[in-house]
A and B are shown apart, each in its own frame.
Chain A
């Protein structure tokens, strides 16, 4: 009961900053939209490659924009936490007789609310620019699950690094690692279109599975990656495992803060 209330109030604090500090939220909205638009434009012809899963480039790059935005939005929680640690505000939270889990879950829930808002906005703009869902409501749901999943993963990782480093070194590691994980995947083209080293790396990168899940409702119905149990379970497993690992990482490093 008290944990639930703590989670709620900490989430409220996090969401409130959207309205209090819109200049900080704006880039988080703009980046996925720009990514979607410029990738879809510059790689317009990529869908003409034989066996490409969709014939609309924006169908392919909208989920990428959302996933990049979610991943960076997730580690963004690490940024704000570094600031809280440096100002001493985090000491205040740590001194409260509330469960350590709520110190993590509260801000996480707030972050997820922001990610859900961002995802919704990008989907609306995407549809205006030509996105067509092929997988119906279930497909849209899969996109949200992937976005929230990768944001949770990013948030756990970002929090853990924030607790570990307590300064901007942590932030640099967060950004670089997320950047690499996101791009060394099926971000730009599907696995069977790639060749060489990237194929080898992307095949074992969990982000590839999660991106496939994000796109199940957007690829052609005839494609193997279209909404089906086969195309979904890999992403779900990847999300569950990666989120669990990253949250354990965050919790462990939170406890180590008093060492």
Chain B
């Protein structure tokens, strides 16, 4: 029997007519950081809620840490840690009190509780703030406390749900560093995120979910290679738009881009840029801006789903 820490088979969840998760297969291996990507409403939160025993699947099965999420929910709970979104903390309690609550609920013996809480507070750098109410914490502090809460029982598998949404770049880096450290110590991590860079930086493997189905899965580097050619992005004035499109189409397949920009998957790569510019020049098209992008996860995403994820970046709410 497969002993991977997360295995989902034909896992599905329907809400009435809506197939939020439409039969996904997923394997996360021991010691991996697995990135789960998707736009809001794609089904990633629903999938994670099923894997973390909060929601019952409509059909299919999932095993987490070796236990069935429906039939052995309590064993699953004992072995997973889940960092939720930042509001899921009672603002009236102090950091230490929340850790204490969590410790009792996870059955940590009283004599070990205090030491464990203090170790975790130190680990996430909140020792000084331990006795302050959570309502006085900054966004970054809340996330770090949240991480500490999810680690109270030294879980085998850690779920991080949009761990850095709404954080400033510094706090984001600190959190990433902590996740890497946990992973080095042997914790398997499943990370949901809307940030492609986050997945690129952290994840050993990723899965992209769209409309309830997994549309791509693999190592980020492999996935990027499948998209192949780099994307040439060009801005021209509006009246030249159609003519430019016709010229670009000779050099490769057009790719979805932001409004007002044209993109083409440039066959043959960087050495052909000059050729493109000459062709545009011959067609009397004035180029306002030009850039060549090597394939990114965003390209993988666009190719897989037909739309781009970046830009939805500014919306901090969860999917």
Contacts and interface: CB of A to CB of B under 8 A. Distances in A.
A91 B92 contact: no
A98 B73 CA distance: 11
Interface of A: 2, 5-6, 8-10, 13, 16-17, 20-21, 84, 87-89, 91-98, 258-259
B92 A6 contact: no
Contacts of B93: 13, 16
Contacts of A88: 84-85, 87-88
Interface in B92-116: 92-93, 97, 100-102, 104-107, 110
B78 interface: yes
Say which size band chain B's interface belongs to: 20 to 34
Interface of B: 52-56, 74-75, 77-78, 80, 82, 84-85, 87-90, 92-93, 97, 100-102, 104-107, 110, 133, 149
A104 to B, nearest CB: 14
B87 A87 contact: yes
A58 to B, nearest CB: 36
7 contacts: A5-B110, A9-B100, A9-B101, A20-B133, A92-B84, A92-B102, A259-B56
Nearest to A7: B104
Contacts of A87: 87-89
A93 B104 CA distance: 11
Contacts of B110: 5
B149 A92 contact: yes
Question: Which of A87, A88, A97: most chain B Cβ within 10 A?
Answer: A97
A9 B104 contact: yes
A90 B8 CA distance: 25
B54 A6 contact: no
B88 A95 contact: no
A97 B101 contact: no
Contacts of B149: 92
A5 B75 CA distance: 19
B92 A20 contact: yes
